[in-house]
Structure 1
Amino acid sequence: MRNLADTEPNETPRDGQGLRSSFSAWIQDMREFLKGRFSLEDDKAQRDEVVANISKGVVFRGVNLWVLIFATMIASLGLNVNSAAVIIGAMLISPIMGPIMGIGLSLGINDFDLLKKSLRNFVLMFIVAIVTSTVYFFISPLSSNSSELLARTVPTTYDVLIALFGGLAGIVAQTRQDRTSTVIPGVAIATALIPPLCTAGFGLATGQMRFFFGAFYLFFINSVFIALATYLMVRFLKYEKKIFIDKTRERNVKRLMMIITLATFVPSVVIGFRMVRVSIFEASVDKYVAQVFNFPQTRVIECSKHYAHGHKPSQIELLLLGEPLSEEMVENARNQLSGFGLSETELVVRQAGGEERIDVASLQQSYGELLEEKNRRIGEMTSLLQRYRVTNVEVGDISREMGAMMDNIRTVSLTKGITFDTAGTPGDTTLVCVVTPSDSTRTIDRETLIRWLRVRTRVDNVKLFVEP
């Protein structure tokens, strides 16, 4: 019989080894589970099929070229009338991603013939879109800077990330056997390639070069990082490379791609950080103005926020109406700037009675124009509502008059509305009258009743139905 003290030292290592073996097995099972979940091998298309499909979308000729022109016109119209829905529609039908994905694919598989074809069509696509949008905005009677136009003139780091992840989603969808999913249309909307080109055309047509350069830079960022995402996914899927004899040329092209990527990413990071700082600054100013300039007899009617630029410090400019504030009160407000994180910010207060007079006439004109524009839009919407709304008629009075005119009428039902055709186009107003006779054996003079209803309701199109 073994002594317990003699067996414990020998059994403990076995237990520890068993635990380590169980943990290793669990880790292996978890690794296999995750590998199976995140595997891209399911529904994977053949390499040659993917290359042929992307290569087909690279060429702008015939249908693709005309669709690009039409998509550019639609996007330009959407930007002009400030309609996000129209812009989204243009992004969905635009074939603009073909050459960009072709560039990334060609770099990933060392197909430099495809690279040259993609670059040629990329340049052609750019020229056609710019010329089309420029011509449109040159002849368009609307030339205001809408919010949709302004939103596509300042690229940020977020645009880089959107283009990168959008490009990854797009190439993953392209490498599947089933390409009928909504991924590619979604990528087209997210990366927004056609609107910046149209905005650049707007800048050229109106002579506002800041629009052109800002929008072109945004388009360039999106293009570079979609191509980069395509290249990375192609290499991740380990697509077979084409044999290329000149290794030096291959290395030079890859270096050029890296330089372009860094040249676009670094400025985007700087702009992105500045935008975040500007947003924080503006939020602090709003909080400061709401809390410090809360006076019962004085109102802040305009607040201009200017973030620091170069050696010029940040500035808050307030326009006040009502009872003028004393210099001590204004100075006290300046002393509270540091409490809101605005210690380096200048405060300029303009109010009636100060050294600088407020141009009330100009201010009234500006607000009058704004009010006039809002009233015009309200009028348009009211007119449109009246066009489609079904209106009631004076059924009670008409029913009594019809009963006095014809003694064989028991009940009357009247409805007035708009007649639409199958295409949804509104037509004339129609009056529908349903009459129930008191005695079904006696006839009702339909023609007389229809003529009377036309005169009484002033509706030419009258439909009369007599219930049996």
Structure 2
Amino acid sequence: MERLKKLFDLRHDQDENSVIDSSIRSGERIVGTNLWVLIFAILIASVGLNVNSTAVVIGAMLISPLMGPLLAIGYGAGISDYRLIRTAARSLLVFAALSVLTSTLYFLLSPLSQAQTELMARTTPTLWDVLIAFFGGCAGIVAQTRRGASTIVPGAAIATALMPPLCTAGYGIAAGNWHFVGGALYLFLINAFFITLATYLFVTLIGLPQHESGNPRLQRRAHILIVLGVLALGVPSAWLAYGLVQDQLFLAASKDVSAALDREPNAVVLRRDVDMARRTMAVTLGGERIAPATEAVLEKRLQANGVRQARLVLRHVGAEKVDVTTLRNELRSELMANVDGQVQQRTVALDAMHLQITKAEREQAERTALIPQLLAEYRTITRVSVAQGLRMARGDTAPAAVMVLTLEAQPRLREEDLERIRAGLAVRFAANPVEVVQALPASAKRRRKGRP
């Protein structure tokens, strides 16, 4: 027993009392470094919550100085230094107000206004948040009283998550969502109070020396305030935790009842509605009516795990007998027929597109082959251009496709050569009208342009 007691003894690596006192007091001071680090941390946390990045939020909590004032308040209560309590509480209020203001300004300027899951997770505190804050505070004060550097304090800051609730409150103010503001500030109060409570209990447990200004009357008053704080913050969070557990139990029971209804041989489930607030599950059924005894058994299954107020409402569409197996097969066949029809329509459309692409590629290849043929047959041609366009004359109702062949020759082609080219193209491109145009060579254009 003595060996076990020695194993869990906190005094063998405890730092000097004066060093502990100086270290805790330095964490609650409102100085330039702490304020700038706080602003940077709250901006990082706001960005992380805005883009739903857990890793970024954790990084902000690692550098946050918010644990300092809370440890100082609990330490001051443990050693009866009420001046330290007042200055640390003032620092905490300044830190919290600056954090909310910074996050509000960020969310007012941010183009991302959708509330992500990381934000919504900080709006409904429960008993588990109380436990996390308390044990995180225990770890924080134990680390603060040890010799040498420790990674426990940053870890405790991550676990208790002081920054995200203040960022969520800023988001709520920016978005005008006061439910977010209330829930987030309540979570921050829970974290702050129970970290302070854990610090106070451990300072008392390890027997740090009392401050010379200690007053028994003030100590009794502090004890009363601590009890009232535990009741004011712990009881509502315990009730919220109870409601969350009931929601999960009811959801699991509703899934079980839904699966049982799916297995009924002569009924088919047409619709399911689950009302978490009223603890009601309404199911619309087709086919034969469920027997009252079976319905009673299903409702008892819905009320399992202590959800006694749960109700099952079964609505029947038609009381005539229906061959449910045949109905299911028909529904499946109809669904497959619709799918097959859609696939066939898309196949036909794709085939048509493929034909059009093939035709266009063939015509393009023929037009491309035409150019070297003309250059080889008519040595005087210096330039050939082939283009596909539209032609419309006055009085026509719609434009028609036309292929335009533009030639430049030096000397110019005779008219009978042009007619021979037109005749050959008319046979070769029978489905597409062709216009042959002989343009002036570039040198002739320059001479004409230079004439007075």
- Common fold by TM > 0.5: yes
Structure whose CA Rg is larger = 2
Query: What amino acid sits opposite 1:82 in the alignment?
Result: N
Residue of structure 1 aligned with 2:207, choices 227, 238, 248: 238
Q: Does residue 33 of structure 1 match 2:3?
A: yes
Judge conservation of contact 2:81–2:214 (CA < 8 Å) in 1. no
- The reply on whether 1:341 has 2:310 as its aligned counterpart is no
**What residue in structure 2 maps to residue 268 of structure 1?**
237
Task: For 1:351 and 1:74, locate their aligned partners in 2 and report how far apart those are by CA, in whole Å.
Answer: 55
Q: Which residue of 2 aligns with 1:191?
A: 160
Residue 168 of structure 1 pairs with residue 133 of structure 2: no
**For residues 272 and 93 of structure 1, do their structure 2 counterparts lie closer, same or farther at Cα, with a shift above 3 Å needed?**
same
Give the direction of change, closer, same or farther, for the CA distance of 1:66–1:351 in structure 2 (3 Å limit): farther
Distance, in Å, in 2 between the alignment partners of 1:159 and 1:152 is: 10
> How is 1:64-213 mapped onto 2 (pairs within 5 angstroms)?
64-179=34-149, 181-213=150-182
Q: How many residues align?
A: 315
Aligned-partner SS, 1:220:
helix
Alignment TM-score, normalising by the size of structure 1: 0.62
Give 1:178 deviation, angstroms: 1.4
CA distance in 1, matches of 2:145, 2:11: 10
> 3-state SS of the aligned residue for 1:41?
coil
After superposition, the C-alpha distances for 1:90-145 in whole angstroms (9 at most, x for unaligned) are 11111110101110000001111211110000100110011111111122222222
2:302 and 2:37 mapped to 1: Cα distance? 52
Give the whole-Å Cα distance in 2 for the aligned partners of 1:103 and 1:188. 16
User: Aligned in 2, Cα 1:246/1:183: closer, same or farther, shift over 3 Å?
Assistant: closer
The 1:296–1:209 alpha-carbon spacing in structure 2 relative to 1, beyond 3 Å, is farther
8 A Cα contact 2:270 2:286, kept in partner:
no
Secondary structure (helix, strand or coil) at the match of 1:325 reads: strand
Counterpart for residue 359 of structure 1: none
Alpha-carbon distance between aligned partners in 2 of 1:330 and 1:197, rounded to the nearest angstrom: 54
Q: TM-score, normalised by structure 2?
A: 0.64
What amino acid maps onto 2:71 in structure 1?
M
Distance 1:233 1:347, change over 3 A: same
Alpha-carbon separation, structure 2, partners of 1:331 and 1:142: 52
Q: 1:275 offset after TM fit, Å?
A: 1.5
Structure 2 residue aligned with 1:227: 196
Q: Deviations over 1:210-251 (max 9, x none)?
A: 111111111101110100110111011101101226543333
Q: Which letter does structure 1 place at the counterpart of 2:206?
A: L
Alpha-carbon separation, structure 2, partners of 1:72 and 1:333? 56
Partners of 1:81 and 1:301 lie apart in 2 by: 38
Contact 1:96 1:193 in 2 (8 A): yes
d(CA) in 1 for partners of 2:154 and 2:9? 23
Q: Is the CA contact 1:292–1:333 (under 8 Å) kept in the aligned structure 2?
A: no
Taking a change above 3 Å as real, the CA distance of residues 333 and 163 of structure 1, as seen in their structure-2 partners, is same
Deviations 1:331-364 (A, max 9, x none): 78754432413374344679999xxxxxxxxxxx
| Match of residue 19 from structure 2 | 49
Structure 1 residue identity aligned to 2:286: L
**C-alpha contact 2:78 2:204 (8 A) present in aligned 1:** yes
Q: Distance in 2 between matches of 1:248 and 1:266?
A: 27
Once the two structures are superposed, residues 154-206 of structure 1 have per-residue CA deviations (whole angstroms, 9 ceiling, x without a partner) of 11111111111111111111101112x32112111111111011111111111
CA RMSD between the two structures: 2.7
Deviation at 1:279, TM superposition (A): 1.2
The separation in 2 between residues aligned to 1:299 and 1:61, in whole angstroms, is 69
| Structure-2 residue corresponding to 1:314 | 279
Q: 1:352 to 1:339 in 2, by over 3 A?
A: closer
Cα distance change on mapping 1:199 and 1:39 into 2, 3 Å = same
Distance 1:135 1:41, change over 3 A: same
Shift of 1:67: 1.1
Contact 1:43 / 1:178 at 8 angstroms: preserved in 2? no
